[in-house]
A and B are shown apart, each in its own frame.
Chain A
Amino acid sequence: MIDRLLEHFRGENIAVACVYCDFQDHERQTAANMVGALTKQVVNALKMVPPEIEEEFKRAGSEIGGRGLQVVETVKLLGRALAPVNRTFICIDALDECSDKHLSQLLTSLQTISQTSPGVRLFITGRPHTRSAVEKYLPGSLQVIPFSPNSQDIREYLEMRLKHDSDSGEMSPALKADIMKRIPERIPDAYVIANSIIEAASNR
């Protein structure tokens, strides 16, 4: 999706920044580091580091041993970085993998950013149970889309997996054909349900 957004808006004054939450990286994935990572991507896309960020960097560096950033500071810096950009797409993948300790801080930060920088669009993915947390911090502006693959997705995915399977030479063509036929058959129901929810939501 990130690449698609970049393709769609090629040459326009936009920025795309993402964070992939990961169970295995909780130690480094603090709210400050995640918001900082968003800022980093926006700054990298700019021709110049905004002067306020440069100054803050120098100030932090002049303190003994240098100083890490607090989450509130990273939110301010992100706001500075966003100022010259018309539209910014922020993508947070697998929010459910964010540690509880940092989840509320991250969502509070995103809330502040979306309130103070009107050109920001947020895209968040996560398991259904994360929805209530997202709703709590980003009410009003939220649209929920249930995501489930359709049968074409499943077929393409299976084809990819079968092609890349190093042992696939040992699999008989009949078995492959059976996999390709039976698995997608069981999926369409889920897709139809997802689609009807989307339609119901958009007619509201």
Chain B
Amino acid sequence: MGPEPNATVSGNQNCFNQIHSNNITTNITYADEKAKVLNWLSPLQPHVRHNDVRDRRQDGLGEWFLQTDEFLRWRDGGGESGKATLFCSGNPGVGKTFLR
């Protein structure tokens, strides 16, 4: 692969920037085609909810959690090392969704 696909959760970002071609017509056609494929993959739009969460959350909330060894091992561990699945268990309203 060429340059990294640095992922984001924003569903409909500007596709043109991701395609390095001088042919604008091709780009528009391709972006259009990509949008159709994305739409076919799923009608859900998690980025809409994500933006809503982002607007409402408070920086620093749950910071302790993001510093735990368990979280860091999960984030940084590769392949077999560290646990591949983290289940964050808590009652509604404790702020799991709003972890920054």
Question: Are the C-beta atoms of A145 and B65 separated by less than 8 Å?
Answer: yes
Chain A residues within CB distance 8 Å of chain B:
1-6, 8-20, 22, 28-29, 32-37, 39-49, 53-54, 57, 60-61, 66, 69, 74, 77, 84-85, 87-89, 93-94, 114, 118-128, 130-131, 134, 138, 141-150, 152-153, 156-157, 160, 198, 201-202
Interface centre among B8, B11, B85, B100 (most CB of A within 10 A): B85
Chain B residues within 8 Å of chain A by Cβ, number: 65
Question: Are the C-beta atoms of B100 and A4 separated by less than 8 Å?
Answer: yes
Question: Are the C-beta atoms of A149 and B9 separated by less than 8 Å?
Answer: no
A1 touches which one: B18, B66, B90 (CB < 8 A)? B66
B37 touches which one: A13, A49, A74 (CB < 8 A)? A49
Give Cα A36 to B64, complex, Å.
32
A160 touches which one: B38, B45, B58 (CB < 8 A)? B58
Give Cα A40 to B45, complex, Å.
9
A153 in contact with B61 given A6-B8, A45-B7, A49-B34 (CB within 8 Å): yes
Give Cα A17 to B46, complex, Å.
9
Question: Are the C-beta atoms of B42 and A33 separated by less than 8 Å?
Answer: yes
B89 touches which one: A8, A47, A144 (CB < 8 A)? A144
Please give the distance in Å from A197's CB to the nearest CB on chain B. Answer: 10
A145 touches which one: B34, B63, B87, B92 (CB < 8 A)? B87
Question: Are the C-beta atoms of A198 and B89 separated by less than 8 Å?
Answer: no
Question: Are the C-beta atoms of A93 and B96 separated by less than 8 Å?
Answer: yes
Give Cα A114 to B85, complex, Å.
9
Q: Mark B25-53, 1 if CB is under 8 A from A, else 0.
A: 00000000110111011111111011001
Question: Are the C-beta atoms of B9 and A126 separated by less than 8 Å?
Answer: no
Contacts of B54 in A (CB 8 A): 3
A45 in contact with B90 given A54-B37, A93-B96, A141-B84 (CB within 8 Å): no
Question: Are the C-beta atoms of B62 and A149 separated by less than 8 Å?
Answer: yes
